[in-house]
Amino acid sequence: MTALLLAQVVYATVGVAYNVVSLHAVRAGRQPLSQGSAAAGLAVMLAYGASLSLGFAGLDVAYRAAMTLFIVVIGYAGLLVHLRRGPSEYYRSRSAWTAAVVINTAGLLLNLTALIVGP
């Protein structure tokens, strides 16, 4: 396992955890971490995690194609949307907003690196 793929697995795990915490908060009657769809966020992160298998399998072109797709998805829905909203009533707290921005900035940088250097 390369350091890049390991870092991507960590990113996917943290992204899944953020969305799972948000889903559990809703089920417990509390405000979610963000008003966005945690179920959709979870689905994207699970698909992202699954796409990493392409890198592990050495399927370089398919892996880079998947990273290109996730650069767009994570760059827009995961980062740009959060930055535009800023720390607002859309989030449970400023910390929840900051976590979303930090998590997705890391993901975007990892995916850009993956696109350039491969798995």
* Neighbouring C-alpha atoms within 13 Å toward the C-beta of 24: 6
Question: How much is the average pLDDT of 102-115?
Answer: 96
Distance (Å, rounded) from C-alpha 101 to C-alpha 107? 10
Q: What is the pTM of this model?
A: 0.91
**Residue 114 to residues 33, 56, 65, 85, 90, Cα–Cα distance (Å):** 29, 12, 10, 28, 31
pLDDT at 108 > cutoff 70: yes
Domain range annotation of the chain: 3-117
20 near 115, Cβ under 8 Å?
Answer: no
Q: In angstroms, rounded to a whole number, what is the distance separating the alpha carbons of residues 4 and 30?
A: 36
- % of the chain with per-residue pLDDT over 90: 85
From CA 3, how far away is CA 62, in angstroms rounded? Answer: 19
Measured distance CA(55)–CA(35) in Å, rounded: 33
46-79: per-residue pLDDT in tens?
Answer: 999 999 999 999 999 999 999 999 999 999 988 8
pLDDT digits (tens, 9 = 90+) for 2-25: 999 999 999 999 999 999 999 999
Mean pLDDT score of the chain: 95
